[in-house]
Structure 1
Amino acid sequence: MPNLPDLEAWAIFAKVVELRSFTAAAEDIGVSKATVSKAVTRLEKALGVQLLHRSSRHLSLTESGRDLAGRAQQLLSLGEETEDAARDEASNPRGLVRLAAPMSFGIAHVGSVLPDFLARYPDIAIDLHLSDDLVDIVGGGFDAALRIGALADSSLKARRLGPVDRHLVASRDYLERWGEPKHPSDLKDHECLCYAYLPNPESWRFTGKNGEEVHVRPSGPLRANNSDAMMSTLKAGLGIAIIPDFMLADHDPDRELIPLLTDWSAPPIALHLVTPPGSERPARVTLLLDYLAETLTKKCADSRISAPKAE
């Protein structure tokens, strides 16, 4: 693999040509004269040509130096313009932020908080990708993603915004026809509506207040990769489902669905804001991350419900 260009040496060479002096270039850049001399020598060695004639009193360009001086100045100017643009972006954030979020949560909660952010920062645009699939943040070029669940270990950086409780629920019509399960093991005899993107959709795990743990293999008439898609079937009395509290707050505000097995709990999960590894990011991304952390932490707390005992 070829070596990368020595951009620092090219920039120093351009500054020497501009100021016609190693000493003046060193003072302008803020380094020692020896550092400037070594950079030019390093560049000459890499190119295999002499760029400058040096004497104790005079400094002049060689023919090769004259040919390359203009290009070196272009590189220096481009670097300075790039840094100026970055500083300007930091003080006046602008540009595109790519954000991924789960479908149901994104529609109900992320979409509703974005208008205020976009009004505050009119030069920032957001590309919002909604999917319950686990997107590849780095490979997909995303600046951040919201994820609900127990996160696996990875190189990604995660900020926990708040807990998300899940409840086993069914409609009153379903319970009148099929009866109410008294223990998780009873679910094997019930119609279960399954969310396909659970870490292990083939098994529901419950923990009792005494620490007892039960695994159940659910089966039923519907398996979907989005919780919204199960709500109509659930309310129609065709099955039992495990639903996150924010879904119940959004779709069942009158508490028509009956919580079941309230002495048992599903594994704890939480809402996380996940970003690629590394600490440096554009100001526009940092602004959106901080805004989402503030607004969604509050929404996460507001949407939590206390599951009452079934009547």
Structure 2
Amino acid sequence: MDRLTAMEMFVRVVVAKSFSGAARQLGVSKSVVSKAVAELEDRLGAQLLNRTTRQMSLTEVGQAYYERCVSILEQVEDTEQVVSSGARCPRGLLRVSAPVTFSVMNLGWPLSDFMEQYPEVSLELTLNDRVVDIVEEGFDLAIRISRRLKDSNLIAVKLGSARTITCASPEYLKRHGEPRHPRDLLQHHCLRYSNLGPAQEWTFRDPENGEPIQIAVSGRIIANNGEVLRAAAVKGDGIIAGPSFLAAEDIRQGRLVPILKEYAGPPFGIYAVYPPNRHVSAKVRRLVDFLKGLWGESPPWEKACGAC
């Protein structure tokens, strides 16, 4: 077996976290993958993987070799793309997983524009707020929103950023008064995300020392969808702490008013994550570059939100 193929099989094993998972993706038997990795270890004279009956993990030298393999395979693909018409004009099915509210509000027309640019690409978009296993479930790319991504063997590219904005309708603030400190929220109706559990703490940042301030909020409305909570906030049912891409247009139109601005926490990132797979990266990279160019410097929700 040639060395590049063996390296790709090794990378697949690491990403899939199993020999059987890598074999399924590659359409070969588990023994073929296992033999390829064993041959690599013999050639290198080093153990790349710790294997037990229950789990598999990289050795220290295996981690270093994995990172180099990913880099080498990417460089090989870059070289192939120079002369590949398929790379100049990506084609085929692109399967994308993305969070519900963000996608409904911000992903529709960008994907339409992307498809117009690349007419030979077809798209399957799945909206789900759970963190999917993109390798196991066969996605080419996922969009994730987080202050800190969990450690992963996936490639992550930051597409843009957003921030948490605490806000309420002018009518609500007129009836109940405006909170001046996060602890004032204890006396208010707060609109909460059900996926965070019934007992929730909202986190703020002390403007003087940067220390976190955690407030156990409560309220009569709890939902698993940000748009539902945003609509309730606009109607005057309570205070919402949501991402800027959710509230920006309502703030611009005066339907919601930002509060506790000086206590806002740090921004969080919007990322594209995808496996190091040289066979699909032409499509993936075009989409990543497209979205990064669209959202990277000045996302539209930040423009709409202004200085709030």
TM-score (structure 1 length as normaliser): 0.66
- Tell me which residue corresponds to 2:22: none
- Tell me which residue corresponds to 1:206: 204
Q: Distance in 1 between matches of 2:199 and 2:99?
A: 17
Q: Give 1:14-25 correspondences, 5 Å limit.
A: none
- SS of residue paired to 1:217: strand
Per the TM alignment, residue 143 of structure 1 is displaced from its structure 2 partner at its CA by 0.8
- Tell me which residue corresponds to 1:270: 269
- Tell me which residue corresponds to 1:144: 141
Per the TM alignment, residue 251 of structure 1 is displaced from its structure 2 partner at its CA by 3.8
- Tell me which residue corresponds to 1:33: none
- Tell me which residue corresponds to 1:156: 154
* Structure 2: runs of 5+ lacking an equivalent: 1-28, 34-79
Per the TM alignment, residue 96 of structure 1 is displaced from its structure 2 partner at its CA by 0.3
The residue type equivalent to 2:237 in the other structure is L
- Tell me which residue corresponds to 1:121: 118
- Whether 1:4 aligns to 2:1 is no
State percent identity of aligned pairs: 35
Per the TM alignment, residue 276 of structure 1 is displaced from its structure 2 partner at its CA by 2.0
Q: Give 1:60-99 correspondences, 5 Å limit.
A: 89-99=86-96
The residue type equivalent to 1:275 in the other structure is Y
The residue type equivalent to 1:114 in the other structure is L
Q: CA RMSD in A?
A: 3.0
- Tell me which residue corresponds to 2:222: 223
Change (3 A) 1:92 1:243: closer
Per the TM alignment, residue 132 of structure 1 is displaced from its structure 2 partner at its CA by 2.2
Task: Between 245-254 and 255-264, report the one with greater CA deviation.
Answer: 245-254
Per the TM alignment, residue 98 of structure 1 is displaced from its structure 2 partner at its CA by 0.6
Whether the aligned pair in 2 keeps the contact of 1:195 and 1:201 (CA below 8 Å) is: no
Q: Distance in 1 between matches of 2:223 and 2:175?
A: 24
Per the TM alignment, residue 255 of structure 1 is displaced from its structure 2 partner at its CA by 2.4
Match of 2:176 among 159, 170, 178: 178
- Give deviations 1:137-156, integer Å, cap 9, x for gaps: 22221111111122222222
- SS of residue paired to 2:252: coil
Change (3 A) 1:2 1:288: closer
Q: Give 1:244-263 correspondences, 5 Å limit.
A: 244-263=243-262
Q: Distance in 1 between matches of 2:199 and 2:121?
A: 38
Whether the aligned pair in 1 keeps the contact of 2:230 and 2:247 (CA below 8 Å) is: no
* Structure 1: runs of 5+ lacking an equivalent: 6-82
Per the TM alignment, residue 243 of structure 1 is displaced from its structure 2 partner at its CA by 2.0
- Give deviations 1:75-116, integer Å, cap 9, x for gaps: xxxxxxxx9xx9563354211011111212212221111222
The residue type equivalent to 1:246 in the other structure is F
- Whether 1:303 aligns to 2:275 is no
Number of residue pairs the alignment of both structures matches? 231
Q: Distance in 2 between matches of 1:299 and 1:99?
A: 23
Q: Distance in 2 between matches of 1:256 and 1:302?
A: 15
- Tell me which residue corresponds to 2:52: none
Whether the aligned pair in 2 keeps the contact of 1:224 and 1:230 (CA below 8 Å) is: yes
Whether the aligned pair in 2 keeps the contact of 1:167 and 1:307 (CA below 8 Å) is: no
